[in-house]
Amino acid sequence: MQFKNTLAFAQQLDNEDPLKNYREQFHFPKVDGKQVIYFTGNSLGLQPKRTKDFVNEVMEDWASLAVEGHFYSKKPWWDYHERLAAPLAKVVGAKTEEVSVMNTLTVNLHLLMVSFYRPTEKRFKIICEEKAFPSDQYLIQSQVRFHGLDADDAIVEVKKREGENHWRTEDIVAKINEVGDALALVIIGGVNYYTGQVFDMNKITKAGHDVGAFVGWDLAHGVGNIELKLNEWNVDFAAWCSYKYMNSGPGNASGIYVNEKHLNKTDIPRFEGWWGTRKETRFLMKPEFEPIETADAWHLSNPPVLSLAPYLASLTMFDEVGMPTLIEKRDKIVSYLEYILQEIDKEVDSTFEIITPRENRGCQLSVFLHGQGKSLFDYLMKNGVITDWREPNVIRLAPAPFYSSYEDMYQFGQLLKKGILENS
């Protein structure tokens, strides 16, 4: 499609947008009384208007039923989490039984590493990407130390090539083959938080399995953003948060995926609690743990229903629309944003560099501001463009297909141009 950098063209795209009715179903913050242009759905998604009703329902049931709400509320609390599994499984390309929701992301990655990082004298190394999200670095280092190993010896980081902004799949596969039968686990962020690069999870998972390692993914930036086929790719495990593209609220509950081949096993190492044991016998209060046949076996505690309610609300929207429609708009709106950036770059003779690979990207464009720096970012924020800043000189722009408009992209371009001219 031949794009144009005009208001009329952007509005025409909005009129043709099959998701146009969803924008008004979200709350937008305002700056100086004007709705913001929101680019940080990759950090905290906007609140869907329907969320309040889901939370209120729990509050009202709690008020009127108290403890009886566990079994007699409109959506009984004791198995509230089970309602999330089927719609979430569609989002991540999994079977319903492979998916569950519990705790928060880093906690879940730790719990899953208990099961899938089982170092032996010979096979103890972990491959991850260099400069992984800090929480993942701490996760991996502390797991290695927990097993009495030396982090420098056990952790192998795959580096980008000199002068390049993203990882090459062939370099990751080569590293996997090089480490070979010393490799216990590959764990990588499926979409890089800094550059927005989408990794080839299928190829990397296969390469890990070929040398006998487990392969897991941190999908914080992947879920609700890109097409995932966790079951088809035969991924061992994955976890993600719900507050970015899943629009489920700050710090909210995390989803997990455990491949069906690891389910219903009594001999898998796992930290266990009473909500992971079979519900048919749970309240007999027996000392024996009988794992639920699904990923729920990894549950420790009874479900945090007030956290799950916003996640369920959001999943009703994903279920209505489906990932293919979201992905179609994502590709178009991100391409339009890229075009606007290029047009403004020409007009003001600036020097931005989009460091996100065009062939492997989702919602996010990370833009390196060679000439302009923090002052341009501050200008944008002051003028109602909510974006984020990453050292040394990168802004991340992530339009979310549910609620971003093409007009937002156009208006952003106009503000960007003004900001560059005023700040140079």
Ligand X SMILES: Cc1ncc(COP(=O)(O)O)c(C=O)c1O
* Rounded Cα distance, 269 and 112, in Å: 10
Q: Give the number of residues written for the chain.
A: 424
Segment interacting with ligand X (CB under 6 A) among 168-176, 215-223, 382-390, 397-405: 215-223
Determine the Cα–Cα distance for residues 164 and 362; give it in Å rounded to an integer. Answer: 19
Cβ nearer to ligand X, comparing 106 with 195? 106
**221 lines the binding site for ligand X (CB under 6 A):** yes
**Residues of this chain, 171-190, that bind ligand X according to CB under 6 A:** 189
Nearest distance in Å: CB 175, ligand X: 20
Task: Output the six-digit token pair for 371.
Answer: 């000439």
The answer to whether residue 104 forms part of the interface with ligand X (CB under 6 A) is yes
Taking residue 138's Cβ as centre, other Cβ atoms within 10 Å add up to: 13
Pick the closer one to ligand X by CB: 249 or 413.
249
User: CB under 8 Å to 266, separation ≥6 — which residues?
Assistant: 291
By CB under 6 A, is residue 241 in contact with ligand X?
Answer: yes
User: What residue has token string 């390049």?
Assistant: 164
Residue with tokens 């305002």: 30
Tokens standing for 111? Answer: 């719990």
CB of 189 vs ligand X, minimal distance in Å: 5
Stretches 94-102, 133-141, 380-388, 396-404: which one binds ligand X (CB under 6 A)? Answer: 133-141
Q: Choose one: 33-41, 218-226, 291-299, 338-346; the region binding ligand X (CB under 6 A).
A: 218-226
Selection from 104, 7, 19 nearest residue 404 by Cα: 19
The reply on whether position 247 binds ligand X by CB under 6 A is no
Q: How far is the CB of 192 from ligand X (least distance, A)?
A: 8
Q: Is 199 a binder of ligand X (CB under 6 A)?
A: no
Q: Which of 105, 173, 188, 398 binds ligand X (CB under 6 A)?
A: 105
- Name residue 408's amino acid: D
Please list, in sequence order, all residues whose beta carbon lies within 8 angstroms of the beta carbon of residue 206, skipping any fewer than 6 positions away: 233, 234
Place of tokens 């990923």: 295
218 binds ligand X (CB under 6 A): yes
> Considering the complex, what minimum distance in angstroms separates the CB of residue 288 from ligand X?
32
Interface stretch with ligand X, choices 101-109, 257-265, 322-330, 352-360 (CB under 6 A): 101-109
Residue 98 touching ligand X (CB under 6 A): no
Among 117, 193, 237, 336, binds ligand X (CB under 6 A): 193
Binding segment for ligand X (CB under 6 A), chosen from 98-106, 290-298, 329-337, 402-410, is 98-106
Spatial contact of 360 and 197, defined as CB atoms under 8 Å apart: yes
Closest CB to ligand X among 125 and 244?
Answer: 244
Least CB distance to ligand X at residue 351 (A): 28
Q: Tell me if 299 sits within 8 A of 275, measured CB to CB.
A: yes
CA distance 169 to 189: 13
If one asks whether residue 363 binds ligand X (CB under 6 A), the answer comes out as: no
- Complex with ligand X: residue 179 or 241, whichever CB lies closer: 241
**Beta-carbon-side half-sphere exposure of residue 372 (alpha carbons within 13 Å):** 26
What distance in Å separates the CA atoms of residue 364 and residue 134, rounded to the nearest whole number?
19
For the CB of residue 107, give the shortest distance to ligand X in the complex, in Å: 7
- For ligand X, the closer CB: 240 or 318: 240
3 vs 133, which CB is nearer to ligand X?
133
State the residue for tokens 């796992």: 270
Q: How far is the CB of 235 from ligand X (least distance, A)?
A: 16
Nearest to 335 by CA among 404, 260, 240, 257: 404
For residue 392, cis peptide bond before it (omega within 30 degrees of 0) = yes
Structure tokens at 279: 């519900």
Report the run of H or E that residue 87 belongs to, with start and end. Answer: helix 82-92
Q: Tell me the closest approach of the beta carbon of residue 187 to ligand X, in angstroms.
A: 11
Nearest approach, Cβ of residue 106 and ligand X (Å): 3
Helix (H) or strand (E) holding 158: strand 155-158
Residue 264 to residues 169, 296, 378: CA-CA distances in angstroms? Answer: 33, 10, 52
The closest residue (CB) to ligand X is 106
Residues 6+ apart with CB under 8 A from 393: 368, 369, 370, 373
Name the residue nearer to ligand X (CB basis): 73 or 106.
106
Which segment (8-16, 91-99, 130-138, 392-400) binds ligand X by CB under 6 A?
Answer: 130-138
Please list every residue from 295 through 354 that binds ligand X, using CB under 6 A. Answer: none
Among 106, 197, 360, 372, binds ligand X (CB under 6 A): 106
User: Interface residues with ligand X (CB under 6 A)?
Assistant: 104-106, 133, 135-136, 189, 193, 218, 220-221, 241
